[in-house]
């Protein structure tokens, strides 16, 4: 028996390209998978199985697909990727966790700089 169930937009047409990014809040996002057609469908299927939010942005996917696996995103794509990741982290409920890790990294860097950086001049009497 078949039922007519509306499919999400991404399932109404074949997936032509997919790019997977890794971001843990401490470094720039990194390309971890990219592919076209069947490989793209496999990337999307794995993301769905892992409850990774999907964002459909063909233009951004095309630009990211030009990068090599393991590459960090370049500065010119930072804003677009940040918007996608912000959405993905929010809908997955992981934004607080990533924000905490990012803050810890900033705090560690600041502590390192203050312990190993320039020493402030002490007043002389």
123, part of any domain: no
Distance of CA 38 to the CA centre of its chain: 22
- The count of residues in the chain is 125
pLDDT, position 90: 80
- Give the whole-angstrom CA distance, residue 15 versus residue 44: 9
Instruction: Confirm whether 19 is domain-assigned.
Output: yes
- Reported as half-sphere exposure (CB side, CA atoms, 13 A), residue 33 has a value of 14
Residue-number span of the structural domain to which 29 is assigned = 9-115
**pTM as predicted:** 0.65
In a domain, 121, yes or no: no
Best-predicted range by mean pLDDT (13-17, 20-24, 51-55, 66-70): 66-70
- Per-residue pLDDT tens digits for 20-34: 999 887 789 999 999
CB within 8 A of 91, min separation 6: which ones? 53
Residue 124 lies in a domain: no
Give domain status of residue 120, yes or no: no
Domain tally for the chain?
A: 1
CATH number of the domain to which 86 belongs: 3.40.1690.10
The confidence score (pLDDT) of residue 86 equals: 84
pLDDT digits (tens, 9 = 90+) for 100-121: 777 787 788 888 888 886 444 4
């Amino acid at each position: 028996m078949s039922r007519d169930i509306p499919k999400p937009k991404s399932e109404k047409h074949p997936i032509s390209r997919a790019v997977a990014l890794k971001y843990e809040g401490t470094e720039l996002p990194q390309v971890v998978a990219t592919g076209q057609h069947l490989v793209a469908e496999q990337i999307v299927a794995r993301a769905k199985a892992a409850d990774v939010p999907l964002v459909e942005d063909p233009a951004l996917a095309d630009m990211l697909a030009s990068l090599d696996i393991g590459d960090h995103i370049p500065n010119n794509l930072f804003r677009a990727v940040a918007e996608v990741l912000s959405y993905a982290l929010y809908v997955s409920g992981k934004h607080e966790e990533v924000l905490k890790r990012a803050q810890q990294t900033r705090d560690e860097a600041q502590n390192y700089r203050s312990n190993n950086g320039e020493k402030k001049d002490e007043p002389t009497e």
